[in-house]
Amino acid sequence: MENIKQTLVDKVCENIRIDIIKQDLKPGDKIDIKSLSDKYGVSATPLKMALNRLVSENIIQNFPRQGMYIKTIKPEEINEIFEVRQMMDLYYARDIIKSVNYNATLRQKLIENVASHAKFMQGLSSDSGIDDFFHTYSFDAEFHQLYLLCSGNKTLLDLYHSVNPFLYTNYIFNKQSRKRDIETIEEHQRILDAILNEDEELLIEAIKNHYDNSKKTIELILKVYNIS
């Protein structure tokens, strides 16, 4: 029974994320429990469980006596998030190299992630829909979660979620070019190659390059779409 409930909550979380990507739910929008329950075809209980999970991931904000809202995000906050993410990745670079090269399971998961992501991108067309975007985001999120998991510090994953990767990544993936999507996979491959070659200096360089390029993409998107 618990597994069934958990699966339903997972699905509702996914539906909410997709609605945010589609901008059916926009930053600052108040959550209407009844409306979303009807839309997703679920009772209030799994919906509230999903919303509470998204509160813990900093996607939803809960204000006592006021209700729940889709979190708003400011350009300066996006830059700060990237600085924190890069700091985490760089600090544990040496530990991650050791972990990946000693743990065959983690190593294989990273290799499969990059390969599957590249293969998925090859199958996309210019008219690919929102579900394809969501899968692309999922591959990217999984890569960074696996990377941090290899640090051996379990608290890092909680921190990763707390810095709100989904909301700011939505600004990027839903608006950046296909060329940048492909470049992102190539940057992940360079990070992975540096790890497998046990080259800490090259890994640090690859991480910095990845985040520098991502921040430049964000700055351009913010300028073009006038997000503030």
For 185-207, what is each residue's pLDDT tens digit? 999 999 999 999 999 999 999 99
Of residues 222 and 71, more confidence is placed in: 71
- The stretches of the chain forming alpha helices (DSSP H) are 2-21, 33-40, 44-56, 75-91, 93-102, 104-122, 130-149, 155-162, 165-173, 178-196, 200-225
> Minimal CA–CA distance to 18: which of 123, 173, 146, 160?
173
Half-sphere exposure of 39 (CA within 13 A, CB side): 15
Task: Tell me the percentage of the chain whose pLDDT exceeds 70.
Answer: 89
227 pLDDT more than 90: no
* For range 121-136, the mean pLDDT: 76
CA distance 25 to 47: 15
Mean pLDDT confidence for 180-185: 91
What is the band of 6 on the pLDDT scale with cuts at 50, 70, 90? low
Is residue 79 very low, low, confident or very high in pLDDT (cuts 50, 70, 90)?
Answer: confident
pLDDT at 99: 95
Q: Count how many Cα atoms sit within 13 Å of the Cα of residue 117 in the half-sphere of its side chain.
A: 26
pLDDT at 162 over 60: yes
User: For residue 40, what pLDDT is reported?
Assistant: 95
Each residue's pLDDT tens digit, 25-57: 888 899 999 999 999 999 999 999 999 999 988
pLDDT of residue 101: 93
Kindly list the structural domains of the chain, giving each domain's residue range(s) and its CATH number in brackets, ordered by start. Answer: 2-70 (1.10.10.10), 75-225 (1.20.120.530)
pLDDT at site 26: 84
| Mean pLDDT rounded to a whole number for the chain | 86
Residue 60 DSSP label: E
Cα atoms found within 13 Å of the Cα of residue 81, Cβ hemisphere only: 21
